[in-house]
Amino acid sequence: MFVKSRGEHASKHVLPKNLALLLCFASFCAGMFFSNRTWMVPDAKGIPWTSRTGGKQFVDYDRNIVLKNEGNNSGDISGSQHSILTMDKAISDLEIKLMASRAERETIQKDPMMSEGVKNIESTLKRKYFMVIGINTAFSSHKRRDSVRATWMPQAEKRKKLEEETGIIIRFVIGHSSTSGGILDKAIEAEEKVHGDFLRLQHVEGYLELSAKTKTYFATAVSLWDAEFYVKVDDDIHVNLATLGVTLARHSKKPRVYIGCMKSGPVLARKGVKYHEPEYWKFGEVGNKYFRHATGQLYAISKDLATYIFINQKLVQLLNEALVLVVRCMCSNRSSNFINLLVPPVIIVMLCLRNVLHKYANEDVSLGAWFIGLDVEHVDDRRLCCGTPPDCEWKAQAGNICAASFDWRCSGICRSVERIMEVHERCGEDKNALWSANFVQTIRTSS
């Protein structure tokens, strides 16, 4: 058998070197000639490319990426891509709102009537008031409100004059019923249309929720009106506004003032009794008394204390909104790693701050507890808690007119609807006292 060597076989099939180079160069030239795309950058428009998720993406002439998913839902988009798209949409929405706001402002400036109305609103917001009086009331207290309107609370033009000339704001304070838009809320709305003297709170009414209502009232009032004092009054109390104003004006230059009739009542541990304190064990042995606090019929706090309550209330609301937003993002299966990192600290802060201002069973105790650890001056003034006639009448005859009158045994005027007019006639201050009182000198209007 004849077998050729490997070297002999290879040598017979090897092309000359010059011929190989010539063939390569000819192939290159033919390729350029037929393709006609020498040194041209491919146009990206309409050219699909596959992403990591398997969907196709197209690039338009402006280099804006448009997502096209084939057989996949939006949940297939990565967390980072979704976050970017969400942010872009939010920025676009804000730009649209900003343009609309500018257009609306230009329209208002061109319209003299609308422009004047806006100026009035701005001047009201910049106004410095002396005191805001919130009269705590309930859905069932329509007759009580009417009795207050008929006695010590100015109505209609007089109430407007009171606000403009003396800087005193008076409103009945009430929240909403458990069934929003129900018959109780509609009754208050109808009453508001007639009198226009309500302050509606974002709060669900209930006797056991008075501490929460008090906190919401102060937070709401300080956000609406810039005043030196914020007062809470029950709707079965008689008040002499001028005397109350003069009393508070003595403390207008002091920081962190808490004014009322200070008391220290017993902590009621037995269930079923009125004013029962479920957390009685916090106050020591059975039979102990509460710390000093103002009685709940009427008390006043300075602006810095009301702001302290507002900050706490607002912070908790913001944290609640943040937590809801985070939970929604997580439930939508679109949360990014950044959102997931936010969850633990948000929940921890919520748990820490939810009850910074702890609420006890009785709202006056709760208010006193909120200030117990602060550098607050407690002012005990007995003119804020006089008895009904003959007590307040005798004091008025002696020249010591009471700022507020009620019956201790009833925690208000007993049968106030029938008797408050009698108290007003026998213990009320002069009709012109409100317009000539010295405290009006403390009212300032910011420029």
Q: Domains plus CATH for the chain?
A: 128-316+355-446 (3.90.550)
pLDDT score at 70: 42
Task: Report the pLDDT value the prediction gives residue 78, as an integer from 0 to 100.
Answer: 57
Distance of CA 252 to the CA centre of its chain: 27
Residue 76 has pLDDT above 70, yes or no: no
- What angle (nearest 5°) sits at the alpha carbon of residue 178, between those of residues 173 and 179? 115
- For residue 128, report the phi and psi dihedrals to the nearest 5 degrees: -100, 115
Cα of 148 vs its chain's centroid, Å: 30
Determine the pLDDT at residue 289.
81
- Amino acid in position 288: N
Please provide the average confidence, as pLDDT, over all residues in the chain: 77
pLDDT tens per residue, range 346-389: 566 555 555 578 888 788 989 998 998 899 999 999 999 999 99
Q: Pairing state of beta strands 198-204 and 168-176?
A: parallel
Residue 398 tokens read as 């002696």
DSSP letter, residue 406: -
Instruction: Say whether pTM exceeds 0.75.
Output: no
Average pLDDT (51-61) is 43
The pLDDT value given to residue 312:
84
**6: which 2 tokens?**
């490997």
* Those residues with Cβ within 8 angstroms of residue 440's Cβ, 6 or more apart along the chain or in another chain: 130, 165, 166, 167, 245
Higher pLDDT, 401 or 94: 401
Instruction: Write out pLDDT tens, residues 121-163.
Output: 445 556 899 999 999 999 999 999 999 999 999 999 999 999 9
Neighbours of 420 (CB within 10 A): 25
183 or 16, greater pLDDT: 183
Contacts with 87 (C-beta within 8 Å, 6 or more apart), sequence order: none
Residue with token string 């000819």? 26
Cα gap 397→390, rounded to integer Å? 10
pLDDT in tens, 306-343: 999 998 877 666 666 666 666 666 666 555 565 566 56
pLDDT band at residue 266 under the 50/70/90 scheme: confident
pLDDT band at 267, cuts 50/70/90?
Answer: confident
With tokens 């009698």, the residue in question is 422
Q: Which residue has the tokens 């207050």?
A: 148
Please tell me the distance from the alpha carbon of residue 200 to that of residue 197, in angstroms, as a whole number: 10
Mean pLDDT over residues 72-76, rounded? 46
CA–CA dist 130, 444 (Å, integer): 8
Question: Which comes out higher in pLDDT, residue 413 or 432?
Answer: 413
Give the integer Cα–Cα distance in Å for 68 and 47: 12
* 376's tokens: 């607050």
Q: Which tokens belong to 360? A: 């006890």
